[in-house]
Structure 1
Amino acid sequence: MISELELVGGPDGGPRPELLDAGGGPEREGPSPGDRARALAKLPWVWALGGAVVASAVWAGGLYAFRDQGPDQRGYRITAEACDKVPLSAISRKLGERDRPTDASDRSDDPAFRRTECHMGLKSTGARTSGRVTTYTAELLVEEHLKTDPGPELGARLTSGRYGADDPVVSPVAGLGDRAFFVRAPEHGYLEADLRLVVQDGGVVLTLSVTGNVDLNGNVTDPVDPKDLKPDYTGVPKLMESDMRELMAVLKK
């Protein structure tokens, strides 16, 4: 600790010469506020302490700004009409055009979290699985996390059975948002959707799903093992990636 005497005293501990009057007596009993300020200014620890205080203030300001604004929404403008804007340009060429009369949507909104869900039927192309007519549906789920970062819990959601009873096969996808994954059903396993592409982009999580529906009530009488009734999705993951890129751009307009 530095005492007041150390700050203002001379080499012998007495009053500094400039504080004595012409007669040799003290001109004043102690240092003026200006003397004390000049003495403090010469001490390096004062500047270090001041820098630490400023840095702490800047950090605290950034923290309060994050708490107030929440995670970056990356320019998305998700409105009640979002489902109408979903293009599915690539998927529809292979699996069928959108059958808009069968569409359905749902939306929930609160200050911390918004959820938009789109169910989209695709017109039949006559595709068959083991001789049975197969049609397809697509779903889009947009989750806007307005107060907290969805990243820490996303991995757990992908692998914890959130999308079905069996452990899914999760594969990373490069070049989409902050991070992206394909979620597939394991062989002979079950998921709510056969293919699911999950993308986190800032505070927004987008999930595009495709499911094939095999008609078991047709005129086909040959017995088929249920494991052989899973539709062929060859090439579909790349189509979903293309549609997701287009979709992300559309939802930011």
Structure 2
Amino acid sequence: MSTPPQQPPQPADQPSQQPVVPPQPTAYPYPSPQSAPPGNFYAQPTLVGQPAPGQPVQPGQFGQAGQPQPGNPYAQAPQYGPGVPVPPPGGGGGAGKAVLWAAVGAVVASVIWAGGVFLIGGKGDSADLRGYSAPANMCSSADYSSFKSEYPQDDSTPTKNTLKNPALDESYCSLGLKKTGSTYADAYLTMQLDLHRKTDPGPEFTAMWKNYGDSHTGYDVSRVSGIGDEAYLVSQDTTGGSSTSGSRYATLAVRDGWVTYEMTYSAYLSSYDQDKNPPTLSSVTDWLKKDAKATLGQLKG
């Protein structure tokens, strides 16, 4: 499953006070004849009609070399596995045939039932992608219009990449956000969509994002309703009231079926002019919720 995206590095000529961003958040049912204890019937299997070890041979029962005499009805008795009743002796009697056919029918029914369960289970295990598709260019396909009022300048050289694989489709975009008149990026935005084709990301997604605050200090985690099957907002503000130091960071992680989407914002106050304060964390989280919901709606067929 996908992991929290790293925050893009700052330009080399700007001082850096980055927040501590977490690292990228992986048939034989019976006893062996050799190991069976003495007296265990698995240890010394015998054919029907043969004497057990240590038992005397009855006169007239066996000929030379222990071979059964012709005409003995038990001489060539068929072998049956555990749980399948052995037809009683009696030749072509109706009761014997009934028991035999009942046994065969039970075995056939078991095979058919097992095959049916296997086929049904296969369908149930198919990927739940819900019509989503991973775009070739995430930067032009994602909606981040809510940030435009604060950062109207476009990034002319965003970073984007894709992955197409039978197990995973992925689209990624990282771009710089610029205020009017800014030469360098004032903040950064990353977006990543993952289509998990072979494994259900649900359990790991919940474990990682719901409990993010337990494994990473200094982050606030809250459940977000109304987006996908489940969504979590992870945020951190280290400015401490300062307008020149610290940072603001927020990630919205969403899972919809076997599809996950993360949208991350990060801003470093050292990158801002004193007259260009960054937006509040509350504003940023509202923008993330609005734009993530819009993006998922656009990418869902």
Alignment coverage as a number of residue pairs: 209
Match of 1:199 among 226, 248, 254: 254
The answer to whether 1:62 aligns with 2:113 is: no
How far the C-alpha of 1:136 sits from its partner, in A, is: 3.0
Give the TM-score normalised by structure 2.
0.55
What amino acid sits opposite 1:178 in the alignment? D
Matches within 5 A, 1:69-218: 69=126, 71-93=127-149, 95-97=150-152, 99-125=154-180, 135-158=186-209, 159=211, 166-185=217-236, 194-216=249-271, 218=273
2:286 to 227, 238, 244: 238
Query: Hey, what's the Cα distance between the residues in 2 that align with 1:5 and 1:219?
Result: 98
Deviations 1:67-110 (A, max 9, x none): 6x4x21111111312321112233323x2236141422122343
Is the contact between residue 179 and residue 200 of structure 1 (CA under 8 Å) also seen in structure 2? yes
Residues in 1 aligned to 2:122 and 2:248: alpha-carbon distance in whole angstroms: 40
User: Hey, what's the Cα distance between the residues in 1 that align with 2:154 and 2:233?
Assistant: 25
SS in 2 for 1:117: strand
Is 2:191–2:261's contact at 8 Å kept on the other side of the alignment? Answer: yes
Counterpart CA distance in 2 for 1:78 and 1:235 is: 28
Verify the 8 A CA contact 1:98 1:120 in the aligned structure 2: no
Q: Could you say if the C-alpha distance between residues 217 and 248 of structure 1 is closer, same or farther in structure 2, counting changes exceeding 3 Å? A: closer
Query: How has the CA–CA distance of structure 1 residues 243 and 230 changed in structure 2, closer, same or farther, with 3 Å as cutoff?
Result: closer
Q: Structure 1 length normalisation: TM-score?
A: 0.64
Task: Give the aligned residue type for 1:250.
Answer: Q
Q: State the percentage of identical aligned residues.
A: 25
> Helix, strand or coil for the counterpart of 2:166?
coil
Asked if the contact 2:189/2:266 (under 8 Å) is kept, the reply is yes
Residue 249 in structure 1 maps to residue 297 in structure 2: yes
Letter in 1 for 2:141: K
| Corresponding position of 1:30 | 92
- Structure 1 residues without counterparts, runs of 5 or longer: 10-28, 128-132, 221-228
Question: For 2:118 and 2:234, how far apart are their aligned partners in 1?
Answer: 39
Matched AA of 1:142? L
Query: Contact between 1:97 and 1:123, CA under 8 Å: does it hold in 2?
Result: yes
Question: 2:143 touches 2:292 (CA, 8 Å); kept in 1?
Answer: no
Quickly say closer, same or farther: Cα 1:193–1:112, change in 2 above 3 A.
farther
Distance in 1 separating the partners of 2:272 and 2:286: 31
SS in 1 for 2:231: strand
CA change 1:178–1:123 in 2 (3 A) is same
Whether contact under 8 Å (2:248, 2:281) holds in the other structure is no
Change (3 A) 1:234 1:83: same
The secondary structure found in structure 2 opposite 1:235 is: helix
Residue 243 of structure 1 deviates from its aligned partner by: 1.1
Structure 2: where are the runs of 5+ without partners?
1-83, 241-245
CA contact (8 A) 2:231 2:252 kept: yes
